[in-house]
Amino acid sequence: MSQRLFNFSAGPAVLPVEVLEEARDNMLSLGDTGIGIMEHSHRGKAFVGVLAQTEADCRKVGNIPDNYRVLFLQGGASSQFFTIPMNFLSSGDTADYLVTGAWSKKAVSQAKRFGTPHEAASSSDRNFSYIPKTASYSDNPKYVHFTSNNTIFGTQWAAEPEPPSGVPLICDASSDIFCRPIDVQKYRLIYAGAQKNLGPSGVTLVIIHDDLVKAGALDIPEMLQYRTHAENDSCYNTPPTFGIYIMGLVFQWILKQGGLEKVEQANREKAAVLYDHLRESPLFEATADEDSRSLMNVTFVTGNPDLDAKFIAAAKDQGFDGLKGHRSVGGMRASIYNAFPKQGVEELVKFMKDFESQNG
Amino acid sequence: MSQRLFNFSAGPAVLPVEVLEEARDNMLSLGDTGIGIMEHSHRGKAFVGVLAQTEADCRKVGNIPDNYRVLFLQGGASSQFFTIPMNFLSSGDTADYLVTGAWSKKAVSQAKRFGTPHEAASSSDRNFSYIPKTASYSDNPKYVHFTSNNTIFGTQWAAEPEPPSGVPLICDASSDIFCRPIDVQKYRLIYAGAQKNLGPSGVTLVIIHDDLVKAGALDIPEMLQYRTHAENDSCYNTPPTFGIYIMGLVFQWILKQGGLEKVEQANREKAAVLYDHLRESPLFEATADEDSRSLMNVTFVTGNPDLDAKFIAAAKDQGFDGLKGHRSVGGMRASIYNAFPKQGVEELVKFMKDFESQNG
């Protein structure tokens, strides 16, 4: 095997080595079953056990109450963008969206097909470089939707927004789920594509309160109703078994780290290495406001696109992969999800210092 | 690693050992990239290469003309059941369905939400134990839909049905795609969940003619429009990268076998071992009509449910896994997809003979 690079990809992204090794070792036979993990029937004892353990560990990691359902779906966050308004909005209904980047905007655009989305807050005035402090909610929104972390713009909500009393809070947590403890009871629905903090692309975690399961539309295809998947324990149709298995290994890895408190501590220390350097760097500058900076995606620039490109190319040569920022921000983006090792950030900062001295 | 069992599961199902070994060896680093296959960005050079090669090999395997698009989607065949009528039927429109089992019936039920499905043929009168010889098509169907192979009932179309001239033929080929050469030009849309002949669950292959891509509805969510995925080479959102990778390895395995002619020959020889024995067995009997029997799923019974159960338990003890038939047919089902080894069928027949002599 080649030496592993420091993979700063925004997603699909780095996974814990222990998880990859475990998956590798179960490829031709899951434990002593004599059948590889991908080859097990989703109705068979072995996979039913994997699914039950994965759900149980997810509940343990997230401290998820019994009146929430944990679902493993397909289609990514992009499918949730339309499935949510399809289920909970009717023509004439309003839903409030807090718009903090490209993904929030996509969610808004899908809601327009089913009802009237209201942008209760937006940070578009300064290219989404901050999290709004206030929101002007509509009179009677069906729900409030926000994106907890914005991969492209390197911002993250420090705490949940406060929706009007009694209004369900819905969160796209694709890029920061389980990066820190989460108070699930503040939400009615949390969804996350797996490919940043949870596993491979192709499986979406949905944590949904029983009330919303019941409230969903009945006149839409069964596959798009949350109740279908809740009533069938995510096995109405064949679920993405391998992705669920990997997610289960990631949950076990989180528990082995000591749970989300420990994971948050590690993430804060890791991000601080980079943000502390950016504060004092003579060359590089963080693009997000100080109080809005993400623990998961650190965006920074030199202010000179040619120098950015030079840095990215030089870094790649040294084994720092995936640092190119999204075209809407430019510059660099270091995605440092749960599984990204602190050593990688420390070595990146060393490399940045070298680059500064040579290009100062 | 444990010794591998003979895995007769109907799906997820057995995969070629070479494919599993290759996946295992690329888990921590895809080739010499230093990044595991699951961890590569879907926009990065490595995965873009995997995707392009997978599509190219799929086109080679299936001899797919340039005016068809090859898409890698999520949600399984169950999502295609509603996506197809959502795209191609409006209120008042009729679509003809050839009903040969549980999956065809599910497809019909989803079409009712969007238009008027007409059952142009059905074998429900004899518990779907045969493929209908004739169909009474409606006057102006938008398409004709059929299920090429019926996992539960062990039947398979020997050749494509002949829809009325000019009417698009749509096929759910989930459980027999690429088990034999296919004349793609007879179809306008072929779809298949991967978890029988193509790879792990969680990725759906869709082969669709340009005309249908254009004909799809525009007033539905982008994620449910085929044009969205066609225009973005299956990367409108993050695709199920690992599943696509495995599918690519399976295509390479098929090409190494010598292509679909060779695969068909192997499948015919393999199925004949079992069907030949069933014709002469004093105890076991095939449930499907002789001319409708599936190369992929062989269903058989003793006529005595207690004896069936005894056989299944005894077989399991000897390393023949997943032989229990679906509850709607009872008895046994041996799923022997492309990757199932002939040796497994030969040993099963030996075991059946022993069982016959002890229970005759």
For A132-156, write each residue's pLDDT tens digit.
999 999 999 999 999 999 999 999 9
- B1 vs A95, residue with greater confidence: A95
The nearest alpha carbon in chain B to A39 belongs to B13
Per-residue pLDDT, A3: 87
**pLDDT for res B2:** 61
Q: Are A184 and A64 in contact (CB under 8 A)?
A: yes
Say yes or no for a CB contact (<8 Å) between B28 and A113: no
**Which residues, including other chains, have CB under 8 Å from residue B261's CB and lie 6 or more apart?**
B181
Average confidence score pLDDT of chain A: 97
Residue B350's alpha-carbon distances to A300, B310, B315, B355, in angstroms, are: 68, 16, 11, 9
CB contact under 8 A, A201 and B238: yes
Q: Over 70: is that where the pLDDT of B321 sits?
A: yes
Residue of B nearest to A106 (CA): B222
Q: Do residues A142 and A88 make contact, with C-beta atoms less than 8 angstroms apart?
A: yes
Q: What three-state secondary structure class fits B291?
A: helix
C-alpha distances (whole Å) from A225 to each of A17, A215, A229, A232, B34 are 36, 10, 7, 12, 40
Catalytic residue among B172, B253, B270, B324: B172
Q: Which one-letter amino acid corresponds to residue A149?
A: N
High-pLDDT (> 90) share of chain A, %:
98
Mean model confidence pLDDT for chain B = 97
User: By the CB < 8 Å criterion, does A39 face chain B?
Assistant: yes
**Angstroms from B280 CA to nearest CA on chain A:** 31
State the smallest CA–CA distance between residue A133 and chain B in angstroms.
30
pLDDT at residue B116 is higher than 50: yes
Give me the pLDDT at residue B323, please: 98
Distance CA B59, CA A280 (A): 54
Find residues 85-144 of chain B whose CB sits inside 8 Å of chain A: 86, 110, 113
Query: Residue B360's pLDDT band (boundaries 50, 70, 90)?
Result: confident
Of the residues B196, B253, B270, B308, only one is catalytic, namely B196
- Whose tokens are 């004896």? That residue is B307
Alpha-carbon distances of B38 from A88, A199, A201, rounded to whole Å: 34, 8, 8
Residues 6+ apart with CB under 8 A from A39: B7, B9, B12, B13, B14, B15
Q: How many residues does chain A have?
A: 360
ipTM greater than 0.90, yes or no? yes
Active site residue B112: no
Please give the interface size between A and B, counted as residue pairs whose CB atoms are below 8 Å apart: 223
Nearest to B223 among A79, A200, A242 (CB): A79
Mean per-residue pLDDT, B12-26: 98
- Is the preceding peptide bond at A12 cis, omega within 30 degrees of 0? yes
* Residues B41, A9: C-beta atoms closer than 8 Å: yes
CB contact A258 to B (< 8 Å): no
Q: Do B5 and A78 touch (CB under 8 A)?
A: no
A12 in reach of chain B (CB within 8 A): yes
Crossing angle between the packed helical segments A17-25 and A241-257, to the nearest 10 degrees? 140
Contacting residues of A for B29, CB less than 8 Å apart: 1-2, 4
Model pTM score: 0.98
Closest-approach residue (CA) in chain A for B243: A202
Q: Using CA atoms, how far apart are residues A79 and A94, in angstroms rounded to an integer? A: 20
Examine domains A18-257 and A259-359 and report if their fold is the same: no
- For B248, half-sphere exposure in the C-beta direction (CA atoms, 13 angstrom radius) is 21
Q: How far apart are CA B181 and CA A353, in angstroms?
A: 60
pLDDT at A327: 87
Q: Which of B254, B342, B12, B10 is nearest to A36 (CA)?
A: B12
Contact between A61 and A254 (Cβ < 8 Å): yes
Residue B252 phi/psi, 5° resolution?
-65, -35
Peptide bond into B12 cis (omega under 30): yes
Taking contacts as CB-CB distances below 8 angstroms, the residues of chain A near B47 are 12
Render pLDDT for A241-267 as a digit per residue (tens, 0 to 9). 999 999 999 999 999 999 999 999 999
Kindly report, residue by residue over B231-286, the tens digit of the pLDDT: 999 999 999 999 999 999 999 999 999 999 999 999 999 999 999 999 999 999 99
pLDDT tens for each residue of B161-170: 999 999 999 9
The pLDDT value recorded for residue B1 is: 47
Q: What percent of chain B has pLDDT over 70?
A: 99
Average pLDDT rounded to a whole number, residues A55-67: 98
* Calpha distance B145→B166 (Å, rounded): 14
**Least Cα separation, residue A270 to chain B (angstroms):** 20
Fold of A259-359: Aspartate Aminotransferase, domain 1 (3.90.1150)
Distance between CA atoms of A343 and A319, rounded to whole angstroms? 13
pLDDT for A1 equals: 47
The pLDDT value recorded for residue B302 is: 97
**Which residues are CB-contacts of A166 (< 8 A; sequence separation ≥ 6)?**
none
B contact test, residue of A38, A81, A114, A244 with most B CBs within 10 A = A38
Mean pLDDT of A19-26: 98
The answer to whether the Cβ–Cβ distance between A12 and B238 falls below 8 Å is: yes
Contact A39 B221 (CB under 8 A): no
Phi, psi of A39 (to 5 degrees): -100, -5
Task: Give B-chain residues touching A33 at CB under 8 angstroms.
Answer: 2, 5
Q: Do A241 and B201 touch (CB under 8 A)?
A: yes
Q: What is the pLDDT of residue A305?
A: 96
CATH of domain B18-257: 3.40.640.10
* pLDDT, tens digit (0-9, with 9 covering 90-100), for A91-113: 999 999 999 999 999 999 999 99
Q: Supply the residues of A annotated as catalytic.
A: 103, 172, 196
Which residue ranges make up each domain of chain A? 18-257, 259-359
